[in-house]
Amino acid sequence: MAIINQATKELQVKIVYYGPAMGGKTTNLVQVHDHVQTVAGNKGKLVSLATSSDRTLFFDFLPIEAMTIKGFKTKFQLYTVPGQVIYNTTRQLVLRGVDGIVFVADSQYEKMPENVESFQNLVDNLNTLKINLAEIPYVLQYNKRDLPNAAPMEYMEYLLNNREVQVPSFGASAHKCEGVFESLNMITRMLLQKFISQSTPQLA
Amino acid sequence: MYTLPQLIEEDIQRIVAALKAFNILADATATLVIDKGGFLITHAGDPGDLDLTTIAALASGAFMANQTIAGLVNEKNFNSTYQQGEQFSLFIINIDDHCMLVVIFKSQSGVGVVKYYAESTVNKIAQQLIVAQKRDPGKGFNLSELNVADPQEMFRKKD
């Protein structure tokens, strides 16, 4: 859960990038880190706990401070999870305390089963934390739109965004930084709107 | 759902007072109270140029990973980890279901004294968290006062 620290006037929010292996979750964080406009000192280091072949082993972590709202500094903590199937326990750990999710799907046709499996895995892991997917803000990012074998957006919508309530979705080419900030700003907007409507975040 | 009790400034002041007293007794450099989701709640001491935000995120992950490993080998009595360094060492101990204490101390100091005083400090913090838990749980901060004008533009891409 997000933390509002009244003593230091800070709002802390945790956003997790989830999705299948090699889908572009880490690339999203790298692009945010490289391209975000911030006041000096408001962007932390990008920490990657990766294997020697640059596959995420535990998580990537990027703290960013956004604008001050009515005297409150808003601190966002962006995490990725390891996409490989074997790291499910790690994904559960990273999801703990999550406030919002960016699901990064791989647009290539042959990756559709992995997208669906990963999304179901997200639902299952949230359930183990007693969180219902419908209760948590999330957006869908259809990454790798620039590849020739990318499936049509409509097809991906049918596969991944076919629930009672449809969520915002974005086409993206994360390595070109296309769709990255659109996804991040939308999840941010949804989170803040949720907090404002509920007005029951944690106080610290 | 996983949740911290609602803490007000008085809670934070009491927790920081406990941390400051602990730092003196245990000769600790800095002591952090963090949430198991990886958030830094508060800290005391002189961290210098240490990046406490990142330390909190990594310490939370490391502790939780070790706790999970302990569970896999049927160890039910897991509540702390110790990282021995050449310059600084790190001791992490569970406070309750939601929080833990992270102690950064010079390696020439003994971990024994840190462990010894950490026990009573953890109890004090846990007690304060219970006080917070018993306080009116419906009493929240009204975020509508924040008046988020245009969150669409919260993060801008450099030109």
pLDDT single digits (tens) B94-129: 999 889 999 999 999 889 999 999 999 999 999 998
Instruction: Give me the sign of the Cα torsion angle B117, B119, B122, B123.
Output: negative
Given CB atoms, is A125 within the 8 Å cutoff of chain B?
Answer: no
Please tell me which residue, B150 or A72, carries the higher pLDDT value: A72
DSSP H or E segment with residue A68: strand A56-69
Specify the residue for token string 């974005």. Answer: A170
A204 Cβ under 8 Å from any chain B Cβ:
yes
Residue A22 at interface with chain B, using a CB cutoff of 8 Å: no
CA dihedral A191, A195, A198, A203 (to 10 degrees): 140
Rounded to an integer, the average pLDDT of B6-27 is 92
Greater model confidence, B7 or A92: A92
Position B2 scores a pLDDT of 44
What distance lies between CA A152 and its chain's CA centroid?
22
Nearby residues of A119 by Cβ (< 8 Å), 6 or more positions away:
A103, A105, A160
Beta carbons of A6 and B9 less than 8 Å apart: yes
Cβ of B61 within 8 Å of Cβ of A59? The answer is yes
Tell me which of A120-124, A149-153, B88-92, B145-149 is least confident.
B145-149
In angstroms, how far is CA B51 from the centroid of its own chain? Answer: 14
Residue ranges of alpha helices (H) inside A96-152 are: 112-128
Nearest CA in chain B to A127: B1
A138-143 and A100-106 beta bridge pairing? parallel
Give the pair of three-digit tokens for residue B2.
Answer: 């996983």
pLDDT at residue B151 greater than cutoff 60: no
Q: pLDDT tier at B140 (50, 70, 90 boundaries)?
A: very low
Residue B44 has pLDDT above 80, yes or no: yes
Size of interface A-B (CB pairs under 8 A): 155
Supply the mean pLDDT for chain B: 86
Q: What is the DSSP string of B75-141?
A: -----EEEE--SSEEEEEEE-SSSEEEEEEEETTS-HHHHHHHHHHHHHHHHHHHHHHHHS-TT---
What single-letter DSSP state applies at residue A49? E
| Own/partner long-range contacts of B78-85 (Cβ < 8 Å, ≥24 apart) | B80/B115, B80/B118, B82/B111, B84/B111
**Closest alpha carbon within chain B to A78:** B57
Give me the residue from B64, B141, B155 closest to A66, CB to CB: B155
What is residue A134's predicted lDDT score, i.e. its pLDDT? 92
Amino acid B148: pLDDT: 55
Do the Cβ atoms of A202 and B3 come within 8 Å?
yes
Contact B11, A7 (CB under 8 A): no
Give every residue of chain A whose pLDDT is below 70, as ranges. Answer: 1, 4, 6-7, 39-41, 67-71, 198-204
Question: With 0-12 CB in 10 A as exposed, 13-18 as middle and 19+ as buried, what is A52?
Answer: exposed
Which of B8, B39, B51 is nearest residue A3 as measured by Cβ atoms? Answer: B39
Single out the residue of A39, A56, A40, A36 nearest to residue A48, CA to CA.
A56
Angle (CA) A85-A132-B94 rounded to 5° is 75
Q: Mind listing the pLDDT tens digit for each residue in B21-40?
A: 999 999 999 999 998 888 89
Instruction: Provide mean pLDDT across the span B139-147.
Output: 50
A6 CB near a chain B CB, below 8 Å? Answer: yes
Please give the average per-residue pLDDT across B55-62, as a whole number.
92
What residue segments make up the domains of chain B, in order of their start?
A: 9-153
Which residues lie below 8 Å from residue B43, measured CB to CB, with a gap of 6+? B16, B19, B30, B31, B32, B33, B52
Q: What percent of chain B has pLDDT over 90?
A: 58
CATH class of B9-153: alpha beta
Residue A49 or B159, more confident = A49
Of B2, B145, B148, the CB nearest to A97: B2
